[in-house]
A and B are shown apart, each in its own frame.
Chain A
Amino acid sequence: MRVNFTVNGRPQEADDVWEGESLLYVLRERLGLPGSKNACEQGECGSCTVRLDGVPVCSCLVAAGQVEGREVVTVEGLADFARQRARSEGTRGSSGGPGASGTSLDEARAWQARGAGPHTGEGAELSPVQQAFIDAGAVQCGFCTPGLLVAADEMLERNPSPSDADIREALSGNLCRCTGYEKIMDAVRLAAARQSEEV
């Protein structure tokens, strides 16, 4: 079958799709977007998390045919997506209320790589949550990272000042085997704190 849908703002057409193929397979093997990961292919690990019409889903559990005519955002499009959101929020004002339960930027920086500047490489434009994952040391093998980034970005969109318990609840569907999650917590706190300072 043929599936037409939008990925990261671009119309895409996948041909010769077998009906049993998942959205994850079509993204990875047919559209050249392997950023969404295949750690379990049974909806348990969250490494394949993408946004489908805005909602975070395990793309391994979505049949390719179900995305016909719909919009998908993957980790490859996350920086663009965040930029556009920031632009539209800039005209509307911040969507979140005052951060009663969040972490202040100073506190969030307490763990930060000592003396680390913002630049770690070749000038790629990153979303705040992507940059925070690098700065906080939240990336080791990195296989869980794309799914966590999509999930964390979506949580911060809904809840710009999350408490630690909010972060844990929102990310509880994303397994990480390397970090023990502490530096992922640090990264999300940092992204939230930087975001609230900008507003």
Chain B
Amino acid sequence: MSSPKLPPAFAQGGAPTGAPTRITQGSKTKGGIGESTLRPDGILKVTGEFAYSSDMWHEDMLWGQILRSTVAHAEILSIDTAEALATPGVYAVMTYDDLPAEVKHYGLEIQDTPVLAHGRVRHHGEPVAIVAADHPETARRAAAKIKVEYRELPVITDEASATAPDAILLHEGRTDHHVGHVPHPNIVHRQPIVRGDAEQAAARADFVVKGEYHFGMQDQAFLGPESGLAVPEEDGGVHLYIATQWLHSDLRQIAPVLGLPEDKVRMTLAGVGGAFGGREDLSMQIHACLLALRTGKPVKIVYNRFESFFGHVHRHPAKLYYEHGATKDGKLTHVKCRIVLDGGAYASASPAVVGNAASLGVGPYVVDDVDIEAVALYTNNPPCGAMRGFGAVQACFAYEAQMDRLADAVGMDRVEFRQLNAMSQGTVMPTGQPVDSPAPVAELLRRVKAMPMPPERQWESSEGADVRQLPGGLSNTTHGEGVVRGVGYAVGIKNVGFSEGFDDYSTARVRVEVVAGEPVATVHTAMAEVGQGGVTVHAQIARTELGVARVTIHPADTQVGSAGSTSASRQTYVTGGAVKNACELVREKVLDIGRRRFGSYHPAWASAELLLEGGKVVTDGGEVLADLVDVLEDEAVEVEREWRHRPTEPFDLRTGQGNGHVQYSFAAHRAVVEVDTELGLVKVIELACAQDVGKALNPLSVVGQIQGGTTQGLGIAVMEEIVVDPVTAKVRNPSFTDYLIPTILDTPVIPVDVLELADDHAPYGLRGIGEAPTLSSTPAVLAAIRNATGLELNRTPVRPEHLTGTA
């Protein structure tokens, strides 16, 4: 068997100089942390050579295809695969009855998701059967020949239908660990957070605002479709080349369904074309492995965009009910809220999303008296789970709208009102957890407000209006008439890392040796590089800690311990921390070798603080003691070690009290929009962001993350929504023709102000950054549209009909 095209290892030479940074290991080695070194995979990505999961190819490979349910909720009366199986070119057709092991379900936390439907489908697009054939079109046509007889059942689509006394149960006989504390079996998880006495505090309020908000279902819309290649191996196992966010989590779910021990399922990360939470759950992984093991041939599965909309979980749509109170001098008295998240047919990450929505439900403000409840429902809508911002996004949209309304009621400036109530280091969260690192909420607001405003009527030119700068753009719908400007502000709080007592560790293997006369470090982790730049940062950390110019990043696979998930803004913190820790241990071993070999030549070996810098062992005074090459000779030093951040605790199931989060992350936005009030068209002119990042390990990548997250927040504000038919629970817009994500024309300039206040608990003082900018972007845009139009706008995304009164 010829070997498949594999994801390459990338190496990067000594990177350029930059400003020195204060770090434990000194800063003489170029290309270390704090510099904007360039991506080690950049050349491969611009030349088309980077091997994404959909680029995998193997001699004799087959193509897999999944048959999905055409209805949202039904009993399956029969499945007839005979005609499909008889199609020339078809090698296998499999249904639930063909699953090889006792385990036939999977799931991140609760194993409630059938690999293939068993007697019932619970959402539109649920996998029912799989086909392998020698051409993707043959596989598609064969799948279309499978006859499935459905008897449709009533659909459960919202809280009322889910919790009605006679509601059909989505999952009868639940045995998961949440079932004991939920008020109805169609509720996945419920988390109250009660602190102080909101009822009593409400009596002190001079002003009370109540609001009901609706948040639409967003899709991650990563561009690289779900895909991978499963290659059967001679020992009866299988090797899967896959785009995922967490190799070891996939492995734990895949192996039992295949009936194989984990060491017979080898996983290698293929190139990942974006993720944003949508690759936390399995998609085609098990299906490809099943077909490969059944046929004895390599099987590749690649979703098209239509299927991708059904192939992964989405961001939870939500209904949010809020009550805020304030005294006449503008101090918050209390917050009551109830957040109802629609989890869809299967649990996915819903319980953790509930925990986030509840614990971050009042936002970055000081409020002593709170009464919060968050729930996630089981319904027949598409399953929802992780997406960038994870529960905190929905809450931020609602509490920031409330803060504007309350500021107006009190008669204060909206930014000043926020600053007056802003949390800071030392503030106690509604969970009782004190915030023990910088929380510069007021400062971020000040900074974003201080940025220069974009000029008025920027669309005017000497030759008349440039329609490209106006709402409607080249559709030429206005030359400025009916166009009004608005400005809005918002700020948010996101947790970093996995919370609520989860053992959130990572593993790194670091090796240093002499190759071709030069010291080279190799960093091997299972971290999923999904585009965020973790591989860039790992190389920087290794250069800083080991003082070597050349670092090779080993492809991520399951031959090394788990790195945890590339989500929750955690990888630079946790796997970065693991790489730093492993490097420090390697450094100590290298210095021990040096002391053994050269210690007798110079007293500083024994007495001085020693560093590795620029390929040399130096004293902290800068004296060179030896070349690393001479210390190591032909010896390789390698360490593999797990690394953990501070532990967290679960939230109490009745009161929500507990030190549940590792770290918090803050961003603030100012949006400037122009609205064509006659047609309801919105043009976002500028979306400025200020964010505290603790320490920017790679400033260029940090700004890239902030701008990308900001743009996804813009998408939720004015464009993006998966529309689910309320009667049939079927998805109406599964394509990029009908589900719109921001283009370069929809996206404004995004000035970014980066603040670096170190968190002393985190490696290098860094703060996880990927998600915070997705939170405040949306409410800032909504606030700006409200400011322009005077409309209440309690749902997102805002559509033209909401602005013209024709909804």
Which of A28, A168, A181 touches B55 (beta carbons < 8 Å)?
Answer: A28
Q: Which residues of B contact A122 (CB under 8 A)?
A: 11, 13, 43
Query: How far, in Å, is A48 (CB) from chain B's closest CB?
Result: 11
Q: Would you list which residues of chain A between 164 and 199 have a CB under 8 Å from chain B?
A: 165, 167-169, 171-185
Min Cβ gap B746→A in Å is 9
Nearest residue in A to B466 (C-beta to C-beta)? A165
CB of B38 closer than 8 Å to a CB of A: yes
In the docked arrangement, what's the CA distance between A45 and B52, Å? 17
Contact flags B713-756 to A (C-beta < 8 A → 1, else 0): 00000000000000000000001110001111101011000000
Instruction: Provide the bound-state CA to CA distance between A176 and B50, in Å.
Output: 17
Q: What does the 1/0 interface line of A135-175 toward B look like (CB < 8 Å)?
A: 10101111111100100000000000000010111011111
The answer for the CA separation of A45 and B304 in the assembled complex, in Å, is: 12
A98 within 8 A of B: no
Give bound CA distance, A54 to B144, whole Å.
38
B13 partner residues in chain A, CB cutoff 8 A: 119, 121-122
**Which residues of B are found within 8 Å of A176, using beta-carbon distances?**
223, 744
In the complex, chain A residues whose CB is within 8 Å of the CB of B304 = 38, 40-42
User: Is A97's CB within 8 Å of the partner chain B?
Assistant: no
> Does the CB pair B222–A18 fall under 8 Å?
no
Interface size on A, residues (CB 8 A): 69
- In the complex, what distance in Å separates the CA atom of A75 from the CA atom of B532? 22
A137 in contact with B223 (CB, 8 Å): no
A40 and B703 within 8 A (CB): no
Stretch in contact with the other chain, from B16-24, B145-153, B319-327? B16-24
Contact at A47–B704, with CB atoms within 8 Å?
A: no
Query: How far does the alpha carbon of A128 sit from the alpha carbon of B368 in the complex, in Å?
Result: 57
A137-B703 contact, Cβ under 8 Å, with A44-B736, A169-B468: yes
Smallest CB separation, A73 vs chain B (Å): 12
Asked whether B274 lies within 8 Å of A143 as measured between CB atoms, the reply is: yes
| Residues B36 and A179 in contact, CB atoms below 8 Å apart | no
A116 within 8 Å of B (CB atoms)? yes
The smallest C-beta distance from A130 to any residue of chain B, in angstroms, reads 4
Q: Which of B36, B50, B57, B749 contacts A137 (CB 8 A)?
A: B36
Q: A141 touching B222 by the CB < 8 A rule?
A: yes
A32→B747 contact, CB < 8 A: no
Tell me if B704 and A137 are in contact (CB < 8 A): yes
CB-contact partner of B223 in A116, A141, A167, A185, under 8 A: A141
B35–A115 CB distance below 8 A = yes
Compute how far the CA of A12 lies from the CA of B271 in the bound complex, rounded to whole angstroms.
27
B39 at the interface (CB under 8 A from A): yes
The 4 lowest CB-CB distance pairs between A and B, nearest first, are A35-B48, A141-B531, A142-B45, A143-B273
**B-contacting residues of A (Cβ < 8 Å)?**
18, 20-21, 28-29, 32-42, 44-45, 47, 74-76, 78-79, 113-117, 119-122, 124, 126, 130-131, 133-135, 137, 139-146, 149, 165, 167-169, 171-185
Can you list 9 A-B contacts (CB < 8 A)?
A: A18-B137, A39-B305, A44-B736, A116-B16, A139-B45, A140-B274, A141-B530, A141-B531, A176-B744
A sample of 13 more A-B contacts (CB under 8 A), given A76-B47, A126-B46, A179-B707, is A35-B47, A75-B47, A113-B36, A119-B13, A121-B11, A126-B43, A140-B708, A142-B273, A143-B531, A172-B743, A174-B744, A176-B223, A181-B747
